[in-house]
Structure 1
Amino acid sequence: MISKIIEYSARNKFIIFLLIFFLSAWGYWALKNTPLDAIPDLSDTQVIIYTEWPGRSPDLVEDQVTYPITSTLLAAPKVQVVRGFSFLGSSFIYAIFEEGTDIYWARSRVLEYLQAVKNKLPADVNPVLGPDATSVGWGFSYAVVDETGQNDLSELRSVQDWNIKLALESVQGVSQVASVGGFVKQYQITVDPNKLLFYNIPIQKIMQAVRKSNSDVEGRVLEFSGVEYMVRGRGYIRSVSDIENIAVDSNSGTPVFLKDIASVQLGPEIRRGLADLDGKGEVAGGIVIVRFGENVLNVIEKVKDKIKKEIEPSLPKGVKIITTYDRSDLILRSIDTVREEIIKLSVAVSVVCIVFLFHLPSALVVILTLPFAIVISFICMYYLNVTS
């Protein structure tokens, strides 16, 4: 068989040269389009389901949330393993599919089965899918700092959540930007139990009053001189005073406002972690997760370009973005290392061939084959979705 291939190649040199040229061009194209990453993704296809149920104990979360979802997903097609983890107020479920399963097909199947299990879950529980990324999707992270001290941690977190995060998630190839550190602002109502007892108002009534007072009311339209005017009631909460003036009950015809039985303030949400930069103090920040199948190097360059040209000029005075992790440096160093090693090995193989064969034309056959073989190998890498 081998002798016939050699004989055919020797008799049809033009066809062989044409085939080598075609494969080399194809390999060069694959080299340019193969995603670059220093950490190849060899993991199985997995879908993460995250569920929050605030205040509930891990055993209750396990019985009411984790177990119903895991038992339902076991029947999903191409599912190999389903792992569930229950924590205080939250549940994580990992559905691992067979090798080669398309991640978006897998996410669609999980969504179908979540719809089937929804009636088995508590009413206020809403499972959500994790980002369409892999376990090595963490490509870039940054810290939001204010060295002037004009903005506190809650303001830095607000800048991160409402400005930086939304801008970076619009970058092509970014799956998610996870916010870390700082304080999330919230309206906090501290009820005085003695005043509740005095006015004989249950705590549930206060919760219902606050919930009902945070909404707009729709009306009809009025027509004057051929022009229609829409009637509506503006009821969304915009400040602390709006909450304080919510009518909770009435006492002999006199309304009882929330400020009469509770104190209202703007404060931080309870948190279970923090972000510190170089031991100098707390900061806010974000983690950029790269979407599955994207070129990590290109995505990181787009993110840095977005920060430099659009986000930084719009930040409040004194606020800066400091890069804390950038995988592009590791990728570029890895490329330089691979290039250097390929050159070293090519020279070593060439020297060995020349010394042992002691015939330059025969040695050139092996030496000239190496670069073509390396370039052509990228064709397989590209179609196997292996990052280079």
Structure 2
Amino acid sequence: MIGGSIRRPVAVAMGCLAVALMGASAWRNIPIGLLPDTRLPRLNVRAEWPGASPETVEAFLTSPIEAAVQQVKGVEKVISLSREVQGTGTSSIDVEFSRDTDMDFARLDLSERLSALEEELPPAVRRILVEPYVPPEFESRAQRGFLRYTYTGPYTLEALRADLDDRVVPDLSQVEGVALVQASGGRERLIEIELNEDRVSSLGLTPGVVSGRINDLDLVREAGAVRTGDQEWSVTIQNRVTRAEEIRGTVLLENRGALVRVSDVADVRDSYEEPQVYNRIDGRPSVSFVVIREIGANTVSAADAVKARLAQLERAGLAGTSMI
């Protein structure tokens, strides 16, 4: 063998060159990640609906998504879970495909169908996310944020969180390799309904009856709260209610021939949720967000893309703010 190699130096050189080229190609294209690729012929669909109960999520979010999933070619099994986690309704749907399914095409097809469906879903539903299925053994680490940032500036917590939710999070979510951006801190806006016990009693009603009627309204399907004394009832809203005035005039029931409106028995006002965490940097308020990488995406490339986009967002953002 050694003699043959000596007699054919050109062939040996070409073989070595071919091996070197294949090695260079593999080095350039091999994915860099924190975990091995665990892709199976399964996809996971996730969506969030702040303030919604598991029953509401099942009826108005999970069921429509399941109907869209069933239309994708190759689907063999669909398993869904609707629940509430820290005040946010979540829908998680595992979709199992046949072994010979082209998963890239299946994911594209499913994403397009869900994009068309979003217009028919309640406005408060957050972006529907379609990801490769991750086994439970890897799920906790796979969903761990690989980039964390703090957004601070000479503004109130409400202003910082609003800018983060309205501008930064949606923009970063479109970056290649990013699966999800989760914001925390600050206070999210809500419409608060507080029962007036004296008004309720004067009409011969009870707080339980009034709160029950509020929850029965077609209007009620999204986030909010009804408070009386030390008790609180959850309220949700189906339509995009943006002002307290839109709720005040809503008719609750008929009592002794007279129409009882929400404003007759409760005080309705724009408010903010109770803050869970207070963060400050150099004495200035701050909020934070975590970037979660898509399964199978190159960690280094995704991080570089996120940092480049954040630099643009920071320049175009509120004056005096910074992302650390």
Q: TM-score range by the shorter chain?
A: 0.5 to 0.7
Residue 239 to residue 203, structure 1, CA distance change in 2 (3 Å) = same
Structure 1 residue aligned with 2:216: 208
Structure 1 unmatched ranges of 5 or more: 57-64, 66-75, 112-127, 215-234, 323-388
- After superposition, the C-alpha distances for 1:51-110 in whole angstroms (9 at most, x for unaligned) are 889667xxxxxxxx9xxxxxxxxxx989xxx9x9x986879899999xxx99769989x9
Aligned with residue 41 of structure 1, among 36, 39, 42: 36
- Secondary structure in 2 matching 1:176: strand
Matched-pair contact (CA < 8 Å) for 1:50–1:130: yes
Q: Distance in 1 between matches of 2:240 and 2:287?
A: 28
Letter in 2 for 1:207: N
Q: Render the CA deviation track for 1:255-311: whole Å, top value 9, x for unaligned.
A: 43312211112233467x5474669686322211222222221221111111112x1
Q: Distance in 1 between matches of 2:3 and 2:217?
A: 90
2:131–2:295 CA contact under 8 A, matched in 1: no
CA contact (8 A) 1:184 1:268 kept: yes
Q: What letter corresponds to residue 189 of structure 1 in structure 2? A: I
RMSD across aligned positions (CA)? 5.0
Q: Is the 8 A contact 1:181 1:282 kept in 2?
A: no
Q: What residue is the counterpart of 1:184 in the other structure?
A: 188
Rg larger in 1 or in 2? 1
Alpha carbons of structure 1 residues 292 and 179: separation in structure 2 relative to 1, 3 Å: same
Task: Tell whether the 8 Å contact from 1:245 to 1:257 is kept in structure 2 after alignment.
Answer: yes
Measure, in 1, the Cα distance between the counterparts of 2:165 and 2:251: 32
Q: Could you tell me which of 165, 171, 174 is aligned with 1:167?
A: 171
1:204 deviates by 2.7
Q: Counterpart in 2 of 1:302? A: 305
Return the match for 2:321 from 319, 322, 326.
319
Shift of 1:27: 2.0
**Other-structure match for 2:152:** 145
**Deviation, structure 1 residue 156:** 2.0
Distance 2:274 2:28 in 1: 48
Relative to 1, partners in 2 of residues 1:213 and 1:49: Cα closer, same or farther, differing over 3 Å?
closer
Counterpart contact for 1:51–1:90, Cα < 8 Å = yes
Distance across 2 between alignment mates of 1:304 and 1:175: 15
Aligned to 1:73: none
Is the 8 Å Cα contact of residues 173 and 290 (structure 1) preserved in structure 2? yes
Structure 2, gaps ≥5 residues long: 55-61, 63-74, 112-127, 135-140, 223-238
Aligned residue type for 1:239: R
> Contact 2:37/2:296 (CA < 8 Å) preserved in 1?
no
CA distance in 2, matches of 1:133, 1:296: 18
Q: For residue 19 of structure 1, what is the aligned residue in structure 2?
A: 15
Aligned to 1:257: 261
Matches within 5 A, 1:190-269: 190-199=194-203, 200=205, 202-209=210-217, 211=219, 237-250=241-254, 254-269=258-273
Per the alignment, residue 361 of structure 1 pairs with none
In 2: Cα distance, 1:140 partner to 1:276 partner: 18
TM-score, structure 1 length as denominator? 0.51
Deviations 1:334-384 (A, max 9, x none): xxxxxxxxxxxxxxxxxxxxxxxxxxxxxxxxxxxxxxxxxxxxxxxxxxx
Could you tell me how far apart the structure 1 residues matched to 2:92 and 2:174 are? 26
Q: Retained in 2: the 8 A contact 1:36–1:297?
A: yes
TM-score, with length taken from structure 2: 0.60
Q: Percent identity?
A: 19
SS of structure 2 residue aligned to 1:20 = helix
Bigger Cα displacement from structure 2, 187-196 vs 250-259 = 250-259
Say whether the 8 Å CA contact 2:193–2:266 is kept in structure 1: yes
Deviation larger for 236-245 or 168-177:
236-245
CA spacing shift, 1:172–1:151, aligned 2, 3 Å? same
Corresponding residue for residue 68 of structure 1: none
Counterpart of 1:121 in structure 2 is none
Equivalent AA in structure 1 for residue 308 of structure 2? D
Q: Summarize the Cα distance change of 1:132–1:151 in structure 2 as closer, same or farther, 3 Å threshold.
A: farther
Query: CA separation in 2, counterparts of 1:301 and 1:133?
Result: 25
Q: Is the 8 A contact 2:188 2:272 kept in 1?
A: yes
Deviation at 1:239, TM superposition (A): 1.4
- Give SS of 1:23's match: helix
> Aligned to 1:170, what secondary structure does the other structure show?
coil
In the TM superposition, what whole-angstrom CA distance separates every residue of 1:210-263 from its partner, at most 9, and x where no partner exists? Answer: 61799xxxxxxxxxxxxxxxxxxxx85331222222232345665433122111
Distance 2:241 2:35 in 1: 49
